[in-house]
A = this chain, B = another copy of it.
Amino acid sequence: MSVLVSGSIAIDHVKTQKAAKENLLGGSASYAAIASRLFAPTGLVAIVGKDFPEEHMALLKGHDIDVSGIEVSDGDTFRWHGEYMEDMNERETLDVALNVLESWQPKVSDELQQSTSINLLANAHPLNQLAVIEQLGDKPAFTIADTMDLWIQIARDDLSKVLQEVDLLVLNDTEAKLLMETTNLVEAGRKMRDLGPDYIIIKKGEHGAMIFGDGEFFTAPAFPLDEVFDPTGAGDSFIGGFAGYLSSLGKAEFNFDDLKQALAHGTIAASFTCESFSTHALDELEKSTFDKRFADYLSYCQL
């Protein structure tokens, strides 16, 4: 049982108030896959350019991620350049270049199609997400889509089609308010189910996440961090950890208790991502370190 992660692979330049770093491995699918592989076999479907650093590809392979679905195309890799303010909740995109991502047509090989139990559509254009959904058919046990404000604004109709096909939609608090035109997140979460997905997760950054089902609700706080070094990719790592945990259960169907546990595991994966640039903390993460933090986390939020 494995997770197929599709989405973006990027080369990031990130500046915080304390440090700056160039040519980092970034992108929604990179973070999600590296978090997912903590729990389950994971494959990637994405596109990079000829400029994609060999060390980044080696890193993905070193994590035993199936990279057969990564297309290396003429042109440059998708690039993102951002800066975080003193308040790490505020960030500015300084520059973004889609490059090879612009004309990407995701291709899922027969082999990847057969091995996929969880289809994780990390943040990408809804048309890319639809292309993966169509190729996988009804093979996955569970399909998850992440999205972002940009697609809500410029590709709403395509996003609506994605929502008809997925079991779970994940988005952050600002995006949920934008999509549902309300300032109340609980109302937004409940009503979003009418758009198609059985389950909705609203990510709230430092305030944790909420999941809404049919008359079901669960919320868990973020892991408390004294210092956030670089939150880039935290949301992607969250849903990657979520998908990986779910896949590790080896089930053909999931109940709400499974999703609650997955949410807690994703939360802890995301907490590590915040503690370093890029995927560095996840790269180094030992199972015992994860387990220790997970136990601490339970003591922090369970009565």
Measuring CB to CB, which residues of chain A are less than 8 angstroms from any residue of chain B?
Answer: 86-89, 183-187, 190, 204, 206-208, 210, 217-221, 224-228, 260-261, 264, 298, 300-303
Contacts and interface: CB of A to CB of B under 8 A. Distances in A.
A132 B235 CA distance: 47
B186 A217 contact: no
Nearest to A187: B226
A206 B173 CA distance: 12
Contact of A224 (B89, B204, B219, B301): B219
Given A190-B226, A207-B204, A218 B183 contact: no
Contacts of A89: 183
Contact of A300 (B204, B217, B303): B217
B226 A208 contact: no
Given A184-B228, A224-B210, A226-B186, A303 B303 contact: no
Number of copies: 2
B184 A227 contact: yes
Contacts of A86: 183
Contacts of A184: 88, 225-228
A228 B303 CA distance: 26
A185 B87 CA distance: 11
24 contacts: A86-B183, A87-B183, A88-B184, A89-B183, A184-B227, A184-B228, A185-B206, A190-B226, A204-B207, A207-B208, A208-B221, A210-B224, A217-B224, A217-B300, A218-B301, A219-B221, A219-B224, A221-B221, A260-B303, A261-B303, A264-B303, A298-B303, A301-B301, A302-B302
A255 B88 CA distance: 34
A87 to B, nearest CB: 4
Nearest to A264: B303
Given A207-B207, A210-B224, A300 B187 contact: no
A204 B205 CA distance: 13
Nearest to A302: B302
B227 A187 contact: yes
Nearest to A205: B207
B224 A186 contact: yes
Given A207-B204, A207-B207, A225 B303 contact: no
